[in-house]
A and B are shown apart, each in its own frame.
Chain A
Amino acid sequence: MTSTRTEAATAAPDVRGKARLADREGFLAWAMLLPSVVYIVALVGVPFLLAIAFAFSDVTTGDPSFDFVGFDNFRAVFDDGVFWRALRNTLVFTLASMVLIVVFGKILANILVADFHGKWFVRFLVLLPWTTPVALSTISWLWFLDSIYSPVDWVLRHLGLIDGNVVWLGRPGTAMASVVAVQAWRLTPLAAVIVMAGLVAIPRDIDEAARIDGAGFWRRMVEVTIPLTLPVIAVAALFGAIMTFTDMTVSYVLTRGGPTHATDVLASWAYFRGIEGGDVGQGAAIALFLFPLLLAGAIAILRAVRRLEAG
């Protein structure tokens, strides 16, 4: 085998030079990685620094010239009550959605790994909320929660629970609940898929051993399945949290942040300020607030993944 290689090499000396370069691992490792790194630095790293720069500048869409203004934008943002409201909304939105996503994701994953007829079709239906472009599925919900024609209201009316309409999106409390519900509804399948990956990886014999020892469904669930899939559940939870924390689509499409900023989150407030309001500096300052919390979340995900690798 080795002889064929030297033969080929001596037969074509010019190929040999190329082959050597294509064989040098140190060079190759860089050459293959470099395009991705350059691309990411150019379109994530640079814009990130630019976002920080914008936060300290007076750039607006009308006047794109860059002047350093120190902490003026931050001061203006802090003085605005809407910012604090958006911050609080973001935390409520994230925590509530995350809890729902994890609980329902776990249940859904357990259903999806069970054996039953028509599983393929059920899986297809279950995937719909997650694979559909979020803006479109949210539009469906917009009508579902309509102030006059809401089918939800129709059902409640016919059950005799309400008369008239709830006006889900018109009142602060129900508007927030609606945004949380839609977000949980659309991310639960993703959490389920992640948890499924963990469930599938549990060695069958552990479950069987517990079964032979007489452990029932709930006992096996609490003492075997959940402890073994805890790292994956943590990953699912953090993915859900990060995707919710930075999301503005649901509240943008469903309520446009309303009524009176009751569902404005940091991301949507940054969008309204920075793009629709034209004040790029303030928008950037608001968006920057996502970063420290995001970083903490990212580190937590990595730790969970590490534990997954160790275990």
Chain B
Amino acid sequence: MTTPVRTGGDMDALRRRYALRHLAARCGVYGAAVLAALVCALPFLWSLVSAFKQNRDLYNPQSNPFAFNEPATPDHVTFLFTDTPFLTFVGNTLLVGALVVAVTLLLALPAAYSLARLDRPWGTPMGIAIFMVYLVPPSLLFLSLTRVVVTLGLEDSLWSMVVVYPTITVPVSVWLLIGFLKAVPKDVEEQAMVDGYSRIGAFLRAVLPLLFPGVVAVVVFSFTLTASEFVYALAFVSASPEMVVSTGVPTQLVRGDVFFWQSLQAATVLTAVPIAFVFNLFLDRFVTGFTMGAVKT
């Protein structure tokens, strides 16, 4: 390639071209970001607007669905809190979520440590087997699990969900935690054992504190999975006071053919925002956890 001697004018033109290209790239990035955000969030944005709409505004095919054509009213949101079991559903969801997260950690932490650190010949196949369990879907098991739940006497009780949900969360948590454990140097527990701790002591006192980011990722992820689960919750529980948000809102806020639309929309936004907010706080951690699980050490 021949490089011609550049005159001052050429350089200016070149610089301008780069500046233009840079500007175009920035505009492209912002445009794409705004578009992506809109596509993803539009239904929620619109839910937020319609939650405060009056009936004659909402049920009028001519009125602009994205704006208030009549004065806004908080009545339907108040109705959600005072006249529907929404708060009970929220309480149940939090209770089930907390218990499931606790059970998940108790089961998954030792299992992940065993698979990642106590090298046994069966470690790898066992890890794969546990991962495969994650892929066995509720739609395959709900019929027989319903029978198991009835046998345990837990039908129509939220405890059925506490018992069954860890089958979804444990395998994926073990997988994530193995990833995080690989990032903790082995010297840490060797040093702790040299200092007089037993293997378990080293795990509890030296490894666990370093694993804290992984534990947080597992807590957030398990809770999200639990809150979104639908099939089991629908099959096991049909009594309103024991329902969780994911089944209670779509089934109990509808009376026959009458949908309490504004209240439904309010419930959706009120549930969606906090979960996405917390998840976003830990997104980077979750992304790194996934990569570490896949990178061999």
Task: Enumerate chain A interface residues (CB-CB to B < 8 A).
Answer: 1-2, 4-5, 8, 18-19, 22-23, 25-26, 28-33, 35-37, 39-40, 43-44, 46-48, 50-51, 54, 64, 107-108, 111, 114-116, 118-129, 131-141, 143-144, 148-149, 151, 154, 185, 188-189, 193-194, 196-198, 200-201, 217, 232, 242, 246-249, 253, 266-267, 270-271, 274-275, 280, 283-284, 287-288, 290-291, 294, 297-298, 301-302, 305, 308-310
Contacts and interface: CB of A to CB of B under 8 A. Distances in A.
Contacts of B250: 135-136, 138-139, 253
Per DSSP, are chain B's interface residues mostly helix, strand or loop, or mixed? Answer: helix
Given A22-B200, A200-B287, A284-B143, A125 B37 contact: yes
B261 A36 contact: no
B133 interface: yes
A242 to B, nearest CB: 6
Given A47-B145, A247-B139, A298-B132, A40 B199 contact: no
A302 B30 contact: no
23 contacts: A32-B113, A48-B141, A111-B29, A116-B26, A123-B280, A125-B276, A131-B224, A132-B44, A132-B275, A133-B271, A149-B58, A151-B46, A185-B40, A197-B294, A232-B294, A242-B135, A246-B140, A266-B139, A271-B235, A298-B132, A302-B132, A309-B294, A309-B296
A23 B231 contact: no
Per DSSP, are chain A's interface residues mostly helix, strand or loop, or mixed? Answer: helix
A131 B246 CA distance: 12
Nearest to B137: A246
B268 A149 contact: no
A243 to B, nearest CB: 8
B279 A39 contact: no
Contact of B130 (A36, A46, A131): A36
Contact of B65 (A43, A151, A194, A242): A151
Contact of A124 (B34, B133, B276): B276
Contacts of A31: 110
Given A132-B271, A193-B283, 16 more contacts: A36-B111, A39-B167, A47-B141, A107-B32, A116-B30, A122-B33, A126-B36, A127-B280, A132-B228, A136-B249, A139-B249, A154-B65, A200-B287, A266-B139, A290-B140, A298-B135
Of A149, A200, A284, the most chain B CB neighbours within 10 A belong to A149
Contacts of A22: 198-201
A294 to B, nearest CB: 6
B101 interface: no
A128 B228 CA distance: 12
Contacts of A301: 135
Contact of B272 (A43, A50, A131): A131
B52 interface: no
B234 to A, nearest CB: 8
B168 to A, nearest CB: 10
